[in-house]
Chains A and B, each alone.
Chain A
Amino acid sequence: MGGVNVPPFERFYEEHRGVVLGMLAKRLGRERAEDAFQETFFRALRAYPKLRDGRNLRAWVLTIAANVATDEHRRTKLWSGVEVADLETVDERPGYAELRELTADLPPTERAAVVLRYGYDLDYARIGAVLGSSTEAARQAASSGVRRLRRKELS
């Protein structure tokens, strides 16, 4: 039932939530900090029963928050890489603009997978990395997006 001096989670959360949100807001901006805040305390909850020592919980939770912020940065960086390519190559790839319109009604993940595959010719491993999923999941997203487009064309 928890280690020595490990306080009830409620007290831990009440004591450190402000500093965690402040740190995340500095790293990610106020809006994105809210999701990261939840993720931080979810991770803390998952790890809490294994805590053996109730000291330095502030350092512990700030480390978790820093990891969440880093993950969040990594995700956005991949996305913003795509955005940059979008702007730079839009003139050279008129097909892309067309694809963008054609896929407007697809679910976001399928749309991204279709556009990246057929608009940018990215391989599935790379698309998976961008979407934060596996290569296979990226392949499936693209193929179900294409199927959906075909059905739309027929109807």
Chain B
Amino acid sequence: MSVSEDLDTRFREAAAAAGLIDAAFDLADTPIGTLLVAATDRGLCQISFDPDRGLDELSRKVGTRVLRVPRKLDPARRELDEYFEGRRTEFDLPLDIARVAEFNRVVLDELALVPYGQVTTYGALAAKVGRPRAARAVGVVMNRNPIPIVLPCHRVIGASGSLTGYGGGLHRKQALLELEGALLPSSN
């Protein structure tokens, strides 16, 4: 028997309101693909380029009670829409990176300060957190960034100027930098 949209929505929202879930998520359609966007009560905790794998990862990370509750992600979806339309250069969303290791958190805090439309290098970011020789470790932190786009790891490139790598694939990194005007279209 099919569950009506109304009943389904009522259940999802009541479950979230009753505090019975570990995290809420939704899917967001963007020019670089459908993203899984997830938040705990503390804030945005994950953005994934592969929603299926992202859901498994979320479940492993925050607990198995993860449920799609679109309303809980309204602010995040709205800000992402504005960003992709070029109308937003900074995100104003509470973030939950409590499960991230200490060093990673320090690096991600520093990453958050890299401005829209600019790039920095792994080495420069490492130097900023007082570990000038830890460029490679910084690369690993970027690769494991739980909230790409909002925490702008796409703005971090290699010392030679090459894009180097990106969890969502280099074509996405290029698209984001082009959107921000940091790269000329297909200049790399």
Binding site for B on A (CB under 8 A): 1-2, 6-11, 13, 17-19, 21-22, 25, 34, 37-38, 41-42, 45-46, 48-49, 51
Give the residues in chain A near B64, CB-CB below 8 Å. Answer: 1-2, 6-9, 48-49, 51
**Closest A-B pairs by Cβ, 6 of them:** A2-B64, A22-B1, A8-B59, A45-B20, A21-B1, A8-B66
Contact B20 A2 (CB under 8 A): no
Q: Is the interface of A mostly helix, strand, loop or mixed?
A: helix
How many of B's residues come within 8 Å of A, CB to CB?
Answer: 26
Q: With contacts A37-B7, A41-B15 known, is A13 near B65, CB below 8 A?
A: no
Within 8 A of A (CB), among B12-64: 14-15, 18, 20-21, 25, 55-56, 58-64
Give the residues in chain B near A51, CB-CB below 8 Å. Answer: 64
Tell me if B8 is interfacial: C-beta within 8 Å of chain A: yes
Option from B3, B18, B59, B67 in Cβ contact (under 8 Å) with A7 = B59
Contact B67 A10 (CB under 8 A): yes
- B3 → chain A, closest Cβ, in Å? 5
Please, what's the 1-or-0 string for B114-157, where 1 marks a CB less than 8 Å from any CB in chain A? 00000000000000000000000000000000000000000000
| Bound form: Cα–Cα A46–B8 in Å | 18
16 more contacts with CB within 8 A, not counting A10-B66, A42-B15, are: A1-B61, A1-B62, A1-B64, A2-B64, A9-B64, A9-B66, A13-B67, A18-B3, A21-B7, A22-B1, A38-B10, A42-B20, A45-B15, A45-B65, A46-B20, A49-B63
Nearest chain B residue, comparing its CB with the CB of A51: B64
Option from B11, B25, B63 in Cβ contact (under 8 Å) with A37 = B11
- B141 → chain A, closest Cβ, in Å? 22
Give the residues in chain A near B1, CB-CB below 8 Å. Answer: 18-19, 21-22, 25
| Bound form: Cα–Cα A6–B65 in Å | 10
Q: With contacts A2-B64, A18-B1, A37-B3 known, is A8 near B15, CB below 8 A?
A: no
- A16 → chain B, closest Cβ, in Å? 10
15 examples of A-B residue contacts, CB within 8 angstroms:
A1-B59, A1-B64, A9-B21, A9-B66, A10-B68, A11-B55, A17-B8, A21-B3, A21-B7, A25-B1, A38-B10, A41-B11, A45-B65, A49-B63, A51-B64
